[in-house]
Structure 1
Amino acid sequence: MASLRCKLSPYFNKARGYIVLVMIVVSLATAIGFSLWFVGNYVDSKSGPGTDPLVLRLDAFSLSNFEVSNWSLSAEWEAKLTFGNQNGGLIVTLNPFESYVNYKESEALSCASVDATLHIPPRKQKTVQIKFDSTGCEGEQPYVEDRVMKHLSEDKKKGYLSFSLKMHIDASYSMKELLGMGTQAALNPNCSGLKVELLGSKGTEGKINGGHKCSIPLPK
């Protein structure tokens, strides 16, 4: 019996070593997983969409070469926008995005692209100029229905038009104190209630000056 115990002892020692090794690996994996969970929650609490770091102001909006009938529409719009980062610890990055001029709130009239990536440091702001014409968005302009052009034609006779400006932006909020760690967010800024009074005898131009606060709904 003693001889058998001596013979089995090396195998037991080897098995015990494997068990200890497995326990160490599991413990390390658990500790790493908990650390990543904790850091992830911390990052989300400091840089997630709920922190609401980004604000948007429409500085100016203009319309020119506006011609419309019940069957055709031609126009050029131009918008000056200022994105502001009101957070003191985040770097906000806005990837290239598309913006749309809508008739009132829902009918897209024109599309334009912002091709540059915007990096907005803490407590800073960036201003962009967006021009909407037939060449924007690689020429892929929205289709405008006849009924919308009819409404535009009727509004032109009244001397004013109602627009909104909408964007779809993929953004990231990075924490500079955590080596760039942060979160991603899909943003849909909206500058609504843009009432443009038409100028001149032909009513082909109009503009809005002064800051207009836009909304940036929090991602769901």
Structure 2
Amino acid sequence: MASLKSQDCGSICQLALFLLAVLAGISIITLGLMMNSKYSPRTQKQPLVIRLNSFSVSDLNVSNSISGANWDAVLLFGNRHSYFEISIESFESFVYYYHQDALSCALVESIHLGPKKQKLVQIKFNASGCGGGEQPFVEERVLKEIKRDGDNGTLHLGLVLNFQASYRKGPWSWVYWLKAKCTDLDVLFETGPGAGMMIGDEPRACSVPLLK
């Protein structure tokens, strides 16, 4: 009889532990859904801000190639929120001609932004900018168009940044792929042969949509 009571007690204890585990699981899921609906970057104004402060090019000699050109961009990465930490993994960035033809690429080191923090990042696009990898191939058609525009004094360019960003609040985190674009970037050539600078002194806001 004592043995049966002991077995009954053990079964009741196991059932109680199972119910507690189920309740704990439901509570965690409910809390996660609440956190996601309240704090997810998708429900907030995009926490990450990117602004192009300056852009210049030197040694641009359009012949059979422009691989010897040096493109230099300074961007400000800012975290506008007071509770998110943002971590960006190392990523590739590209200089584009009219937003469709890649001219040069560069690797950018990882970036961490605490709440309400910002950081200036300089990106140098040159022959070794892709970490020793190959630069984009530029078609002869594009080279002719660049030479024509350069002779007229202005190049119409853009920057594209492809990266993965993690938004963290306490133990909770959200990871997204982002494709930031700094468009309508006009470079004026008046400082010397093959050298130009971005038109205008005001920083340019870059588009930073959440992809997934």
Instruction: Give the TM-score, by structure 2 length.
Output: 0.87
> Which residue among 22, 28, 37 is the counterpart of 1:36?
28
Q: Structure 2 CA distance, aligned partners of 1:139 and 1:145?
A: 21
> Which residue among 101, 105, 109 is the counterpart of 1:107?
101
Q: Where in structure 2 are the equivalents of 1:91-130 lying within 5 Å?
A: 91-115=85-109, 117-130=110-123
Tell me which protein shows more helix as a share of its residues: 1
Q: Report whether the alignment pairs 1:205 with 2:195.
A: yes
Q: Map Cα deviations across residues 171-207 of structure 1 (whole Å, 9 max, x no partner).
A: 11121xx3x43222222111011011112463x1111
Instruction: Give the TM-score, by structure 1 length.
Output: 0.84
Report sequence identity in percent: 36
Q: Report whether the alignment pairs 1:133 with 2:146.
A: no
Shift in Å at residue 88 of structure 1?
1.2
Match of 1:194?
185
- Give the unaligned 5+ runs of structure 2: none
Q: Structure 2 CA distance, aligned partners of 1:99 and 1:121?
A: 23
The amino acid of 2:129's aligned partner reads: G
- Equivalenced residues, count: 206
Q: Structure 1 CA distance, aligned partners of 2:72 and 2:34?
A: 41
Hey, which bits of structure 1, 4+ residues long, moved more than 4 A?
none
Shift in Å at residue 28 of structure 1?
2.0
RMSD of the alignment, in Å? 2.0
- Give the unaligned 5+ runs of structure 1: 1-5
Secondary structure in structure 1 of the residue aligned to 2:30: helix
Q: Structure 2 CA distance, aligned partners of 1:113 and 1:201?
A: 28
Relative to structure 1, the CA distance from residue 129 to residue 200 in structure 2 (aligned partners, 3 Å threshold; closer, same or farther) is: closer
Q: Report whether the alignment pairs 1:19 with 2:11.
A: yes
Match of 2:175?
184
Q: Structure 2 CA distance, aligned partners of 1:188 and 1:198?
A: 28
Shift in Å at residue 109 of structure 1?
1.1
The amino acid of 1:192's aligned partner reads: T
Secondary structure in structure 2 of the residue aligned to 1:196: strand
Contact 1:43–1:182 (CA<8 Å) still a contact in 2? no
